[in-house]
Structure 1
């Protein structure tokens, strides 16, 4: 595994005057952003998060040592991570999105497409960001009707040729 850390979420804004923050969670269950112990920012700073409430897919949380709006504002945009080993093993028919990074993507008809460099959800469903050898990266939707087959280091799924056009 290339990176032994998994991003659980990102702090999007301050909330109120007492240092609360809003978090966009990347966990299947939003409240789990605080379920695996202290988290680490890219800077190396450790934080302890306490979930206060959930609203429309966002998490309202307190962070130990952050007790003013200004301190919370300083964390805006900060992604936080845990060690991969802190997470439970996924079910047999599941995979952590972070574990898709670096896998090759192949279409049964079109052949090799490229390598996964990111996983995104802009609101309409999950998408793989795939780096192609001789072209710009593309976004390929997955899930729902477009199921992927996971093989050793490979993702096989149907790719609409239109998605590959530049």
Structure 2
């Protein structure tokens, strides 16, 4: 498990006083109001930044950091990730997981056969869809519904699936 989770990506500057537009990568954009600090991942280093103000505009979050007061100082960080420590993350409900924790898990069938690896999670609105690469290298899409995804065990690093009739021929 990773120690940090991405909550946004700096997309551009906003104004001349060092504000930035952030594309949120979190389900709840209002969580930015509660954050006091974020970690800026520059690629070479990670810097902890203090959030001075939060505004919302369309689908973006506008952040002002105490450390930056000039557009020229923050401009070089366009496209960089904003992270939080895992202890700052929202509390998950039972049977909820962070996507980053699911990627790379081994997938087994309810019959005990190893099937492949979970490579991505697509968020469709109705329900998530797990992208699973089979042992043969073929990609399959499994809806994240109780009839298909029977168990996610982060301790054993496995996902147990039930293959619905017609989904594939084994």
Alignment of 1:29-108 (within 5 A): 29-33=28-32, 35-42=34-41, 43-49=45-51, 50-56=53-59, 58-106=60-108
Contact 1:6 1:81 in 2 (8 A): yes
Following superposition, the deviation at residue 88 of structure 1 comes to: 4.0
Structure 1: runs of 5+ lacking an equivalent: 162-166
The superposition leaves residues 26-53 of structure 1 with CA deviations (integer Å, 9 ceiling, x where unpaired) of 2111131453431112322111233212
State whether residues 31 and 51 of structure 1, in contact with CA within 8 Å, keep that contact through their aligned partners in structure 2.
no
Taking structure 2 as the reference length, the TM-score comes to: 0.68
Q: Point out the structure with the larger strand share.
A: 2
TM (norm. structure 1) is 0.70
- Shift in Å at residue 132 of structure 1? 5.1
1:27 equivalent in alignment to 2:26: yes
Q: Report Cα offsets for 1:128-160 as digits up to 9, x if no partner.
A: 555555538x58474589963333233326695
Gaps of 5+ in 2: none
The number of residue pairs the alignment matches comes to 158
Larger radius of gyration: 2
> C-alpha separation between the residues in 1 aligned to 2:71 and 2:125?
28
SS at match of 1:29: coil
Distance 1:38 1:76, change over 3 A: same
Q: Structure 1 residues 26, 147: CA separation in 2 closer, same or farther (over 3 Å shift)?
A: farther
Distance across 1 between alignment mates of 2:81 and 2:97: 21
Q: How big is the shift at 1:101?
A: 2.5
